Amino acid sequence: MDERQLRILRELGELGSVTAVAEALLVTPSAISQQLRLLQRPIPVPLTERRGRRLVLTDAGQALARAAIEVETALARARHSVGEFLDHEEGEVSVAAFHSAGTTFFPLLLRALTGPGSPVVRLGDEDVAQEDFPRLTRAYDLVLAHRLDHAPPWPDTVTAATLLREPLDVAMPAGHPLAAKRRVTPRDVADQPWITVHDGFPVLATIEAIAAAAGRRLRLAHRINDFTVVAEAVAAGGGLALMPRWTMRPHPDLVLRPLSGVQARRHIDVLHRPERTARAAVRTVVTELRRAAHTVRGGETA
């Protein structure tokens, strides 16, 4: 039995005929009769009986109709509770981010969502390979993920919106000979040692593109995922590195130079399962992430 069948039984008890129930529910009498047959099938005693040309409820049918009122009332309360939950802006919203995005977006979110009536954000850092970001949407309402400009789109199982299209610049010590240039090319940097990420992480594809454009393999001296650690290693003379332009705090001993001849840009996207944004609290956090992204860009075009 389901809610619709129970409602038909209740209406039959009140209206007294299949035709009247069909008119009230805006369906055909045959559809009403079919639902009554489906309702009757698992029940061992008759729910209805004929009295002349009318179909009326038996004692068992009347008992079930009374229970149907309780069921409908409980379902109405449940829908109201769900509606309040979905419309409530003060609920908890879980947000995951890879390290550099967390460093940038988490403080802005925490400062923006401090007033009364604001959602409570629960933050988590997740440093995973690109292909693993969609899986995180099982555990988190929102996931900040990154992929390169030319990378395949995220799977259809998640909804994605781009917050930033962030350039990746070449980081070098302030006293490095290439620091005198306004821009550098793949040939300029091909003979330098490099600090880059582990396999499976988006930045590595840009390193490979630099090598292809220069016509030679780059020397990968160190493998470090955390950009804050990378910055210290570059400053200490460990090699050059690709560094995000907006989501890394400036380092006093480093300079960043744009790269010519190679498309070096990453998307920072917010991923979520489609049903998560039914909640007002989640939509509020997405809005704040967009505002934070505008702040991070500082007026530059995304």
Same domain, 197 and 289: yes
Same domain, 124 and 223: yes
Helices marked H in the chain: 3-15, 18-25, 29-40, 59-87, 99-112, 186-189, 203-214, 227-235, 280-297
User: How many domains does one find in the chain?
Assistant: 2
Rounded to whole angstroms, how far apart are CA atoms 93 and 21?
Answer: 44
**First-to-last C-alpha distance (Å) of the chain:** 54
Give percent of the chain above pLDDT 90. 63
Rounded to whole angstroms, how far apart are CA atoms 223 and 230?
Answer: 9
Same domain, 217 and 267: yes
Determine whether 35 is exposed, middle or buried from the number of CB atoms within 10 Å of its CB (0-12, 13-18, 19+).
buried
Q: Is 247 or 68 the better-scoring residue by pLDDT?
A: 247
Looking at 59, 87, 115, which one is the last position of a domain?
A: 87
Burial 272-293 (b: 16+ CB within 10 A, else e): bbeebbebbbbbbbbebbeebb
The domain that holds 165 is classified in CATH as: 3.40.190.290
How far is C-alpha 164 from the chain's CA centre? 15
Average pLDDT over residues 28-41: 91
In sequence order, the 6+-apart residues with CB closer than 8 A to the CB of 248 are 100, 103, 227, 228, 231
Same domain, 135 and 270: yes
Query: Is 224 part of any domain?
Result: yes
Same domain, 219 and 121: yes
- Sorting pLDDT into bands at 50, 70 and 90, what band is 270? very high
The pLDDT, as a whole number, for residue 80 is: 62
- Sorting pLDDT into bands at 50, 70 and 90, what band is 141? very high
- Sorting pLDDT into bands at 50, 70 and 90, what band is 159? very high
Query: Could you tell me which of 299, 240, 290, 241 has the C-alpha nearest to residue 268?
Result: 290
Residue 157: what residue type? T
Give yes or no for residue 25 having a pLDDT over 70.
yes
Rounded to whole angstroms, how far apart are CA atoms 212 and 221?
Answer: 18
Average pLDDT over residues 215-224: 94
Looking at 87, 116, 138, which one is the last position of a domain?
A: 87
The pLDDT, as a whole number, for residue 301 is: 53
Query: Do 97 and 143 form a contact (C-beta atoms < 8 A)?
Result: yes
The pLDDT, as a whole number, for residue 84 is: 64
Query: Do 144 and 270 form a contact (C-beta atoms < 8 A)?
Result: yes
- Sorting pLDDT into bands at 50, 70 and 90, what band is 252? very high
Looking at 67, 87, 107, which one is the last position of a domain?
A: 87
Range in 30-39, 46-55, 164-173, 175-184 the model is least confident about: 46-55
Rounded to whole angstroms, how far apart are CA atoms 79 and 73?
Answer: 10
Same domain, 142 and 195: yes
SS3 of 196, please? strand
Same domain, 16 and 112: no
| Residue 178 structure tokens | 């290439």
Same domain, 47 and 130: no
Phi, psi of 170 (to 5 degrees): -90, 120
Query: Is 77 part of any domain?
Result: yes
Rounded to whole angstroms, how far apart are CA atoms 130 and 102?
Answer: 16
Which residue range forms the structural domain that includes residue 248? 92-297
